[in-house]
Every structure is written in C-alpha cells, then in structure tokens.
Amino acid sequence: MDSRAFLTSLYRAAVDAVNPERLVKEALGKRGSAVVVRSLAAPARREFVFVPRRIAVLSVGKAAVPMANAVWQLLGPAVTEALVVAPANALCGEPPQGWRLLESGHPLPDERSLAAGAAAYRLASSLDSDDLLLVLLSGGGASLMALPASPISLEEKGRTASLLTAAGASMTDVSVVRGALSQIKGGRLARAARAADVVTLVLSDAGDAGWHLVSAGPTLGIPPTRHDARAILDQYRLMPLVPPSVRAFLLDPAPERRHHDAGQRWSVLLGDVRTALEGARMEALRLGADVRVIPDLLTGEARVASRRLAVAGACAGNLVRRSGAPARRLVTIFGGETNVTVKGRGRGGRNRELALATAFHLAGVPGAAALVAGTDGVDHEPDAAGAFVDDSTLLRAEALGLDPGLALVDNDAGPFFSALGDAFSPGPTGTHVGDVAFVLAPGDDGVPRIDEEIPLPESL
C-alpha cells in the first residue's frame, strides 16, 4: 500500500468513527410509546425516558440530514413536525419525506439564515407541556440559523463578532456575546420551548472549547445576559466600536426578563474529534503501523501549527522497538482546527494552507508524507477537503512552473494543489468534528536511528 492509500484509509476510518446516523442510533431508541435517550459516555449508559404527546425534531448543521434520517428510522411517524437546516453548499443526501428542509448560508450567514432562525423559533415556541423537542446539533449551525435581537440587524451582529475575533477573543467569549445579541443562540431556543422537554444530541466540532458551543448552543446552557456581553466587550475595549444599535441594546437599563423553564433539559455528546482520532488509530494498527495520537489539539495559525507536523515527520521514527523487529510504518495523528489570517487574495482553506506550510518542512525529510483534511469533506470551499504533501511536493511544483512560496503568501493554496494534482477531494461526508492530520515518517530505510542526529528543515 502506497503512502496516499494508507493516509486515505486513516481519513476514511476517522470519518466513519463519527458517522452521525450510527451515533444517533446508539443514543436514541423507542420502547413502546416512550422515547429513550442514552448517555454514550457513562460506563453504565444512563437512560432518560420520555413519554411525549408530540415530538418535534430540529436538525441543524453539516450532519443535519444524516442525523434526521437516523431519527426517522428510529421514531418514524411518531414525529409530528420536523425542520432540517443544512448548508446549501455541502448538502449530503435528502431528509425524510415530509420533513421540511431549509438550505442555508455557510460559512457566512445570509437571508436564508434569518428565515431558518425564524422557522426554528416558531417550531420551539409552538410546543407545550407534554411535548418533546428533539434537537440534533452538528458543526456549522452558527451561520445556518440567525435571529438577532431587535433592532439589531444581521450585518451589525456579524460586525460585532468580527471585532471580537480580530481582537483575539476566545471562542467562548465570542459565543457569549453572540448569545446575548440573539433570540435563539446561547440556550435561548430552549427557553422559547417553555414547558416542553428539550433533548439535544450533539456531534461536536468545538474541540476542547466545550461542546456547549456547537452551533452556538441554541438549546445548551443558560442564556447570557446583556451584562455578560458588556463585560466582554469592555474587556477588549470594543464598546465604543460596536454598531450603535448593538451599543444601545446592551446599555438598555430595563431589567431583563427571567424565565423559568418547566420542562426537562437534557443533552448527550455523541462524539467529537477525539472519537475520530481513535477510529484512525485503530485503522493504523489494523494496517500494521506504529501509531501515536497527539493529545494536544491543533490550534492557532496554520503556518505555525505546521511546525508540529514537521517535527512528527522528522522524528516519529524515534519509537523504541525490539532489536530485529520487522519494520513498520510510523504515523502520527493530529486533530483540531487551525485558523488563517488572510492577507492575500487567493483561494483555499485552512487545511490546504496548513498542508502547504508543512510541505516546506518535509522537503528536508526524504520519505515523509502527510494528509491534512476536514472531516466534513470541505475546506472552506467544497472543491476539496485538504491536500497531500510529501518530500517531493515543492520540487514537483517548481517543475510545473508553480511558486509555492507565492501561493502561501497570497493564501492561494487551493489552486496550487489543484494544479499539482495533490488536492484531497472526498466530497461532503455528512459529518463534522473538526480537522485531522496524519503524518508518515520516512519509510524503512529512511527511519532515523535514536543515536543519529535528525536534520530538521529550516522554519518558514
């Protein structure tokens, strides 16, 4: 098996480990007229049992359609009303017949997002006691559904979030402010359901930040207050810079209404990026490789994160093995999500930028190879999920007249890898838990001995 086939097998195993249909079926069941929800993390698989008069389903995110289909297979006609909100640019399959599908804006919210947010709010607020709202969340929902608090516009709310991001605010801080400025995010959609029971099944792409942040947590947690949002904006000295409507809303002296939900609120984590990494690890072992999974998730600038992949490519051979033991492939597995500060005018996404930056390092490590890709099958644009790189990437690019340095500076990794034939394009996978990266160390003859000095390539 060549390196690309090997790396592709790991990717497919990672994606299969977070198959949304299978995970929903593990967590949800029907026993007579009762709906049974199981905790997947608890050793004893704790169960919650509901006997609702009506069941309404809201499925939101990149895995919305597969998750909705799993619920239909389990509950069938017991579902009285359903709304599925999925990205228009990466739709994966068709929802159950009769279930309403709204194709919405991603990665940026638009008018379709407002329509989806309003529809979700109407669905939740139509429920009463003895009803059950079953919410299926996966990554991407923050842009797919939007319903800003009046009189704030979608553009003004987006401007506020952009100011926080540019100031270096954490995902948690951005989510708190978004929730305070929304009618549905940060737990406010659950509040709209009033006395109805709300169960949320979560396929998380939030990494270590917390799965309550997935899709801006419309039915998770306690809704943040205007005071919470003001404190964060003051911390980053942004209150004078936010749009006037946002500032007026947050400075409104009127006391905020306190709501007491009479219904039960339960949530279950179905899986996250570590679930995917474990699936890849098991596949690597099945294929006879030495494997290690890096516990610290990839974060920060893609170009900086590439150094971690470079060290794995050069040093993964330093695993101690018995004398005379057969040579095996050495692979290091990463997960997480990086970001890119866009300064150029090119096209691509964070995974292809990370791959291109890694290629500069691997050029000095004969036999090393890597695959960087998003588990959703999309890298900002739907034409690719990521890219392959190895020690020959830069040489092959130069032979074709491509300039890898210029592509990196101009944030133009997408066309670069397409022209080189190294783009990885599995198509939309119907799931999403973040990104994965697999780094193969040099092959049998290139594996450095422990007592050898390992030549690391120069930094970018």
Which 8-state DSSP code applies to residue 134?
E
User: 10 in a domain, yes or no?
Assistant: no
> What is the total count of domains within the chain?
2
> DSSP labels for 424-442?
E-----S--S-EEEEEEPP
- Range name among 193-197, 224-228, 243-247, 320-324 with the lowest pLDDT average: 320-324
| Residues 30 and 98 occupy one common structural domain | yes
Residues 351 and 378 in one domain: yes
CA-CA distances (angstroms) from residue 281 to 206, 234, 284, 431, 438? 21, 44, 5, 19, 10
Residue 13 located in a structural domain: no
Asked if residue 84 and residue 158 are part of one domain, the reply reads yes
Domain assignment of residue 119, given as a range: 19-271
Q: What is the DSSP string of 315-368?
A: HTT-----TTPPP--EEEEEEE--B----SS----HHHHHHHHHHHHHTTSTT-
Do both 257 and 318 map to the same domain? no
Q: Is 4 inside any structural domain?
A: no
Q: Are 292 and 232 found together in one domain? A: no
Task: State yes or no: pLDDT of 321 exceeds 70.
Answer: no
Residue 197: φ, ψ to 5°: -75, 145
Residue 190: inside a domain: yes
Q: Which residues, other chains included, contact 218 with Cβ-Cβ below 8 Å and sequence gap of 6+?
A: 60, 120, 135, 137, 141, 145, 184, 185, 186, 187, 188, 189, 190
The answer as to whether 104 is a domain residue is yes
Pair (291, 260) in one structural domain: no
Side-chain half-sphere exposure of 459, counting CA atoms within 13 A: 5
Q: Which CATH number characterizes residue 216's domain?
A: 3.40.50.10180
Do 267 and 280 have their domain in common?
Answer: no
pLDDT 10s digits, 239-294: 999 999 999 999 998 887 766 666 889 999 999 999 999 999 999 999 999 899 99
400 shares its domain with 436: yes
Residue type, 409: V
pLDDT per residue as tens digits for the range 76-111: 999 999 999 999 877 778 999 999 999 999 888 999
Kind of pairing between the strands at 100-104 and 79-87: parallel
Q: Per the domain annotation, does 11 fall within a domain?
A: no
pLDDT single digits (tens) 16-75: 999 999 999 999 999 999 999 998 876 556 888 999 999 999 999 999 999 999 999 999
Which one of 210, 242, 271 terminates a domain? 271
Q: How far apart are CA 261 and CA 239, in angstroms?
A: 32
Per-residue confidence band for 165, with pLDDT thresholds at 50, 70 and 90: confident
**Has residue 92 been placed in a domain?**
yes
The enclosing domain of 301 has a CATH number of 3.40.1480.10
Are 327 and 444 spatial neighbours (Cβ–Cβ below 8 Å)? Answer: yes
Backbone angles phi, psi at 202, to 5 degrees: -120, 125
Domain boundary at 254, 271, 288, which?
A: 271
Bridge partners of 49? 36
With 0-12 / 13-18 / 19 or more C-beta atoms within 10 angstroms meaning exposed / middle / buried, residue 425 is middle
Residue 76, judged by CB atoms within 10 A of its CB (0-12, 13-18, 19+), counts as: exposed
Q: Are strands 265-271 and 369-374 parallel, antiparallel or unpaired?
A: unpaired
Percent of the chain with pLDDT over 90: 71
CA distance 104 to 101: 9
Whether residues 206 and 145 fall in one domain:
yes
Tokens representing residue 123 in the block = 């669905």
Q: Strand, helix or coil at 418?
A: helix
Instruction: Check whether residue 280 and residue 216 sit in a common domain.
Output: no
- Claim to verify: residue 257 and residue 153 sit in the same structural domain: yes
Residue 457 lies in a domain: no
Same domain, 214 and 336: no
Tell me which residue of 267, 255, 152 sits closest to 221, measured CA to CA: 267
Q: What is the pTM of this model?
A: 0.88
Last residue of a domain, one of 214, 240, 271: 271
- Per-residue pLDDT of 192-210, as tens digits, reads 999 999 999 999 998 887 8
Q: Minimal CA–CA distance to 124: which of 25, 265, 269, 270?
A: 265
